[in-house]
Amino acid sequence: MDRLDNTVRPYAWGSTTAIPRLLGVEPTGEPQAEMWMGAHPGAPSLTARGPLTEVIAEDPERELGRAAVAKFGPRLPFLLKILAAGAPLSLQVHPNLEQAREGYADEERRGIPADAPHRNYKDANHKPELICALTEFDGLCGFRAPAEAAALLAALDVDSLKPYVDLLRAHPEEAALREVLTAVLSADPDETARTVAETAAACDRLGGAHAPYADIAHHYPGDPGVLAAMLLNHVRLQPGEALFLGAGVPHAYLNGLGVEIMANSDNVLRCGLTPKHVDVPELLRVVRFEAGDPGVLRPEESPGGEEVYATPIDEFRLSRYVLAEGAAPHDLTRETPQILLCTAGSVLADGEILAPGQSVFVPAGEKAVVSGASGSGTIFRATVVA
C-alpha cells in the first residue's frame, strides 16, 4: 500500500481550525476547506512512486483491477475528501450521466474554453456524492413540501415574499417549486437584495427554524440563493450519519467537518450563495422538482465489523470500521482499488501506523489488514463496486 501525501484546498468557505485540529497541527489562520485523496488531475495525491495519477496511468489494471477498468475505464472513479465548512458552500445541483454527456458535448461543439467562468460542464461524467459527518454537520438537502415552504416564508411577514407564498399554496408540487425557484432566480437584482435584507432581519428576529437562513444571509447578503435555500430541507447530521446527494437534488453544506466521497467529476450547476456563474435555464433543466425527506443514512453493519453507507451507484462505496483495542485484525483485501483514511485514534495498516487525517492507497488485490494500533481507532474505506 502507498501512504498518501494530500493537498488541502484553501477555499474561502473553509474552516480555519477543523482540519488542523483533526491532523493535530497548529492552524495557519487561513481557511482549510478540503483535503483531497485520490487521482483527480487538479490535485492528485502523492505517493513514494509519484503522483497517484501517474502511478495508475502506468498500469491501470494492476492498480485498479481488471473489473474496475472494464467498468469505469483506466482511472480511479472516485475522489475522497475531508471537508471542513466554516461558512455555507454554494447552493448547487449535479447533472445525471446523460445530462453531463449532452452538456459537455454541446459546450465542446460551441468551443467554450474549459476554464471559461460561464462553462457548466468540465467533463462528461455525473457527480453523485455522499457526506458523512465527523462532527455535528449542518446542510440543506432537497425540497421541502410546498406547504411547509409556504408556512416558513409566510411566518416572516415580508410583503415581497407573499407572491411566492401564494404560488406554493396554489399549484401542484412540481409546478409550485419550479415557478418559485424560477421567479427567485429571475427577479430584478435590486428588488431581490431588498427582499433578502428584509428576510434576513425577520429570520434573525424569529430564530428557531429560521435561524439557519439568517446565518446564510449574513454570509451572502442580497444573494437570491438565500430565498432559494428556504425552499430546501435543513438537516443536522450527528457524527456517523450521512447524506447521499443524487443527480438533480439541490443542496448546500453549511457548517461542520465530514468525510465526502464523490464520482470523479467537476460538474456543478449553481443556484446561488456564490459570486460564480449561475446559468438559470440549464439549472432548471437539471433540477428535480420533487419534495421529500432528505433521507439521513446510518451505516449498515456487515459481516466482519464493516459498517457500510449504502448508495445506489457503483463509482464509490464508503464504509467504516471502529477498531477496538485488542480486537482481531480485519482483512480488507479486495480485487478493487481502495483508499483507507483514519479519522480517530490510531490504526495499524500492514505495519503502517495511521493517525487522524492520514491515508493510504491500496492497489487492487494487494493485502490490506488493519487493527487498532494503540487504543481504539476509526478507519474509513473507499472503494468501488465492480
Task: Assess contact for 122 and 267: CB atoms under 8 A.
Answer: yes
Determine whether 270 is an active site residue: yes
Torsion angle of C-alpha atoms 147, 96, 124, 296, degrees rounded to 10: 80
What are the residue ranges of helices labelled H in 241-306? 280-286
Residue 294: its H or E element: none
Q: State the Cα–Cα distance between residues 345 and 356, nearest whole angstrom.
A: 7
**Options 21, 110, 194, 270, the catalytic residue:** 270
Residue 160: its H or E element: none
DSSP for 4-28, written as a single string: -B-EEE--TTBBSSHHHHHHT----
Q: Among candidates 78, 37, 77, 34, which has minimal Cα distance to 258?
A: 34
Q: State the Cα–Cα distance between residues 169 and 284, nearest whole angstrom.
A: 21
C-alpha cell at 129: 456524492
Q: Are strands 78-85 and 34-38 parallel, antiparallel or unpaired?
A: antiparallel
Q: Among candidates 84, 73, 81, 130, which has minimal Cα distance to 318?
A: 130
For the annotated catalytic residues, the residue numbers are 270
